[in-house]
Amino acid sequence: MAKRDYYEILGVTRSVTTPELKKAYRKLALKYHPDKNPGDAEAEQRFKEAAEAYEVLNNPEKRQRYDRFGHDGLKQGAGFGGMSMDDIFSQFGDIFGGFGGFGGGGGFGGGRRATRGSNLRIQVKLTLEEILHGAKKKIKVNKLVPASGVTYKQCATCGGHGSVSRVTNTILGQMQTTSTCPTCHGTGNVMDKKPADADEHGLVRKEEVIDLDIPAGVEEGMQLNVRGRGNHGPMGGNPGDLLVVIREIEHPTLKRNGQNLHYDLYINFVDAALGSTAEVPTVTGKAKINISPGTQSGKLVRLRGKGLPSIQSHGKGDLMVTINVWTPQELTKEERKILESLRGKENFEPKVDHDEKGFFQKVKDLFD
């Protein structure tokens, strides 16, 4: 079943502002909250769907990628994407502030919440061949993880709720206020046993090997999000994400422009005049092209499907070959004599057709 458009899910337009986005999400979250719809699988699905849409559209980088590539731009292979209920509840502090009314789950406002760990950012270098086919990479990261032997216990101040309530008398009667627990800072837990190598949060830094499945068609600077593979949160909190920034290794002869590749082919005057064949490099090997008799310098040849795939579609770009006629810079006496004998011959005089399309028009025509 195809995924619904995120803007459609939240009932907003593509020009929606951040305040409007929050308002739309808050309305749906209240409507479909599991505590308000116990046992309703459809409501729970709507609740998760709205949270996923908000999580993407509220993040400027993810929203830009979604607007450009759609859902496929957020599919980063195994281990990418996906939200747990803890992830959903953890973002309510931003949306609902001190709003209350529901219990259970992750809770709202000053209720118990899992403290999310920080994100990690790494760079992965890819060749054009890896970008063409997609790549599987094993990377090492140093991240914060719970120390061996660390244990936590329920916070005595808040009784594990993550929040404390206070009742005050006012002229309007008693008023109850709820705030985050000052002891556990909302997690509901405090450290019970702290190993010697652990920090104040019960965490240690450890090297971990992570498998990445990078999709074909990624581009320089694109960022992939591996959910839950960043630093762990304190007091048993949820881990952050691993942000993978793509870096392209420059190809020795091919230049990339989006899905298309470009190659400059240099031929000699004789081949240009008489015609010939030539080999040009591709990402995975070589291709042969025909040089027509009378080829002029600057001619463009398009090899369809020899470019790179798009991350959002199944098609491939093309390889654009620019033919350049090379003029020799040094001549022997015999060569000079031969060329001198051709000077002034009618066939060797330039015959410029002013109606002939220029370079940029040729490029445009190739893509039309």
pLDDT tier for residue 361 given thresholds of 50, 70 and 90: low
Query: How many whole angstroms separate alpha carbon 68 and alpha carbon 60?
Result: 12
Are 206 and 143 contacting, i.e. CB atoms less than 8 angstroms apart?
yes
Same domain, 281 and 311: yes
Regarding whether 1 and 80 lie in a shared domain, the answer is yes
Strands (E), the chain: 120-126, 135-146, 151-154, 163-170, 173-180, 189-193, 203-214, 223-226, 242-248, 255-257, 260-268, 276-281, 286-291, 299-303, 319-326
Domain co-membership, 268 together with 278: yes
pLDDT per position as a tens digit, 92-124: 444 444 333 333 334 444 445 567 888 999 999
DSSP letter at 89?
Answer: H
Residue 284 and residue 180 share a domain: no
Say which amino acid occupies 84. S
* Structural contact between residues 98 and 110, judged by C-beta atoms closer than 8 angstroms: yes
Total count of domains within the chain? 4
| 164 in the same domain as 264 | no
pLDDT, mean of residues 287-314: 91
Q: Which residue, 231, 249, 267, sits at the end of a domain?
A: 249
Q: Are residues 17 and 123 in the same domain?
A: no
For residue 274, the number of C-alpha atoms closer than 13 Å in the C-beta half-sphere is: 6
Q: Which burial class, exposed, middle or buried, applies to 288 when counting CB atoms under 10 A from its CB (0-12, 13-18, 19+)? A: exposed
**Cα–Cα distance between 330 and 258 in angstroms, integer?**
39
The average pLDDT across 295-311 equals 93
In angstroms, rounded to a whole number, what is the distance separating the alpha carbons of residues 221 and 125? 10
Q: Which residues contact 314 (CB under 8 A, 6 or more apart)?
A: none
Q: Which of 245, 12, 254, 226 is nearest to 122 (CA)?
A: 245
The letter for the amino acid at 66 is Y
Within this chain, do residues 327 and 345 fall inside the same structural domain, yes or no?
Answer: yes
One domain for residues 173 and 68: no
pLDDT at 82 over 80: no
**Residue 79, pLDDT score:** 36
Nearest to 283 by CA among 246, 322, 247, 248: 248
CA distance 110 to 177: 10
Say whether both 239 and 132 belong to one domain: yes
Judgement on whether residues 125 and 37 belong to the same structural domain of the protein: no
- Write down the pTM of the prediction: 0.60
Residues 45, 241: Cα–Cα separation, whole Å: 23
Alpha-helical runs (H) found in the chain: 6-10, 18-32, 41-57, 60-69, 85-90, 92-96, 128-133, 269-274, 333-342, 359-367
| pLDDT per residue as tens digits for the range 130-184 | 999 999 999 999 999 999 889 888 889 988 888 888 877 766 667 777 888 888 8
Q: Which positions ≥6 away from 55 have C-beta within 8 Å?
A: 62, 83, 87, 91
Domain housing 177: 151-193
Calculate the average pLDDT of the chain.
82
The domain that holds 218 is classified in CATH as 2.60.260.20
